[in-house]
């Protein structure tokens, strides 16, 4: 895996770009759900517009960004000298990334509920869930930057 050292700056850059795109979607989609629940009548033209926006955000931005984040992140993990699993920080980051991936899929299931007209959650629920990616982002950034032991 030593060949990965030659590409480390590029892989790291692409990982950061992917994370930013993914996080943008993770922040925005729950906010769309808040407006969808509170302002839109089921079956209306606006309902269909929101469903289209939510689908495109998830499929065209969030899914590819999540996959790229995982691919570039795993390449970083396999780059010699980047991660020491004897330390705590990679474990806290990994736990937060797994939770973020779960949250991504949770949002995908909620989108399908809107599509079927079966959403039972309130705007307040989506507002509270909108804080999840912020907490995870804080954990990840502090873990990586401080690399606490």
Number of alpha carbons in the 13 Å side-chain half-sphere of residue 118: 7
| Segments making up each domain of the chain, as ranges | 4-146
Q: What is the pLDDT of residues 54-88, one digit of tens each?
A: 999 999 999 999 999 999 999 999 999 999 999 99
Pick the closest to residue 104 from 20, 26, 51, 35 (CA basis): 26
pTM of the model: 0.93
Residue spans of alpha helices (H) in 40-131: 45-56, 63-78, 89-116, 123-129
- Contact (Cβ atoms closer than 8 angstroms) between residue 63 and residue 18: no
d(CA 61, CA 64): 6
Q: What is the pLDDT of residues 87-116, one digit of tens each?
A: 999 999 999 999 999 999 999 999 999 999
Q: What pLDDT shows up at residue 123?
A: 97
d(CA 123, CA 40): 12
Q: What pLDDT shows up at residue 149?
A: 60
């Amino acid at each position: 895996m030593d060949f990965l050292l030659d590409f480390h700056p590029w892989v790291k850059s692409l990982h950061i770009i992917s994370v930013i795109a993914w996080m943008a979607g993770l922040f925005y989609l729950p906010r769309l759900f808040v407006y969808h629940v509170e302002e839109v009548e089921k079956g209306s033209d606006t309902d269909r517009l929101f469903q289209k926006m939510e689908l495109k955000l998830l499929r065209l931005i969030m899914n590819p960004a999540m996959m790229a984040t995982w691919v570039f992140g795993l390449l970083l993990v396999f780059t010699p000298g980047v991660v020491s699993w004897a330390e705590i920080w990679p474990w806290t980051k990994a736990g937060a990334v797994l939770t973020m991936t779960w949250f991504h899929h949770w949002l995908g299931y909620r989108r399908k509920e809107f599509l079927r007209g079966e959403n039972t959650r309130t705007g307040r629920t989506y507002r509270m869930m909108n804080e999840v990616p912020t907490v995870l982002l804080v954990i990840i950034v502090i873990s990586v930057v401080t690399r606490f032991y």
